[in-house]
Structure 1
């Protein structure tokens, strides 16, 4: 599973490996929340896909949603530490090996997460979804992008469309789902780009622009995601 995770953020997405909240909490998924993680294997036993999730105590009200992936990681860890009873499973990441893509495994991962939620008597699966094609439209606000549809009325974005096909409903935009900060030199190393002046830059793979402040020696990326909700069958 770890090698799939490393591959997911390799290359143009190297900067995604430097979210400090994820760095602080991700290993606890394997130790404290192991029963909520799973892998899919091919006929030879090789891991070709994985699903990562965390249980949280959520009221069901949109105003009480965590900020996004960072927020739900922090809340899940906090709920466990305070012995709060979880009500909801939140997806964190669905990753498929490059050689196994276009085989419907992303939908299988979501179905697996729903099965885990049902097994733990949770009432729903929520997900801070990172839309697959949003990086091609970094200047379009996420709220507008999430509402784009095809001629058949289904969501324009393939990953949002998969959620929709499996019965998910739109909850809202997670405007600050992930935050990545670093020095200008770090951002240049992560992206292979030069940032000669302060300003807003389009970075390959990023869903929104990256802000560079050379005076403060700071680069900052705030990633928006889309909250989706899957209701589960009554027990």
Structure 2
């Protein structure tokens, strides 16, 4: 059996979680400077929306997730721009005294040696139930489609329409959400923006960028633009907005 527990109630798991939950993510994903102004305030305001999935009894760390509450009118037009915009919007609305009605599931992860056992669905289902029980009647997520890295030249709006012969989404992470009752809402073409020097990007990707141009990078959902004259690399990560029933 498994249970979702608040991160604040299990500080003994923090070190392991810090190691386990970065294993599946590319290094560049941690360099979105747009989140920096909100990171500490997010932890201060929304620490109660961070969770670990653990096995009942011995409390072995299985997975984790976190999110933020915000106000959303239910329309595509009122969706945040993506991951970074959701974070900023939640923090600023909290400070302005705006009452939230929506939970944004920002990230969910399962440790490497526990994948393929349905834990991702357990995490999402459990946090969704927590959100509704906490008065947030709507649950949305800017989902990072894992298979998109195989098709970095394909527009995210096109990719989100791709399905298997059985009608389910081609992407496995999108498919997990759909099987849990979610539906696709809209593309978020600029969900996160990562910038850095050429040296930064060479370190983050393990590649060499000898000239100004557009490059396909490992685990990139789209391409990286390198400008050697300004010593900058620019990557805008696309996500897909989904809404849970």
The interval holding the TM-score normalised by the smaller chain is over 0.9
The answer to whether 1:137 aligns with 2:151 is yes
| Alignment partner, residue 85 of structure 1 | 99
How far does residue 46 in structure 1 lie from its aligned partner after superposition? 2.4
How far does residue 20 in structure 1 lie from its aligned partner after superposition? 1.0
Distance 1:84 1:2, change over 3 A: farther
Q: Distance in 1 between matches of 2:24 and 2:209?
A: 18
| Alignment partner, residue 201 of structure 1 | 215
Deviations 1:109-158 (A, max 9, x none): 11122112111211210000001211111111111111111111111111
Candidates 123, 144, 149, aligned match of 2:163:
149
Distance 1:182 1:64, change over 3 A: same
Contact 1:12 / 1:191 at 8 angstroms: preserved in 2? no
Q: Distance in 1 between matches of 2:162 and 2:198?
A: 34
Contact 1:209 / 1:221 at 8 angstroms: preserved in 2? yes
Long gaps (5+) in structure 1:
none
Contact 1:168 / 1:229 at 8 angstroms: preserved in 2? yes
How far does residue 17 in structure 1 lie from its aligned partner after superposition? 1.1
Q: Distance in 1 between matches of 2:203 and 2:157?
A: 31
Describe the SS at the equivalent of 2:26: helix
TM-score under structure 2 normalisation?
A: 0.89
Candidates 82, 88, 91, aligned match of 1:68:
82
| Alignment partner, residue 33 of structure 1 | 46
| Alignment partner, residue 34 of structure 2 | 21
How far does residue 22 in structure 1 lie from its aligned partner after superposition? 2.9
Long gaps (5+) in structure 2:
1-13
Q: Cα RMSD over matched residues?
A: 1.7
Describe the SS at the equivalent of 2:220: coil
The answer to whether 1:97 aligns with 2:111 is yes
Structure 1 runs, 4 residues or longer, greater than 2 Å off: 1-12, 21-31
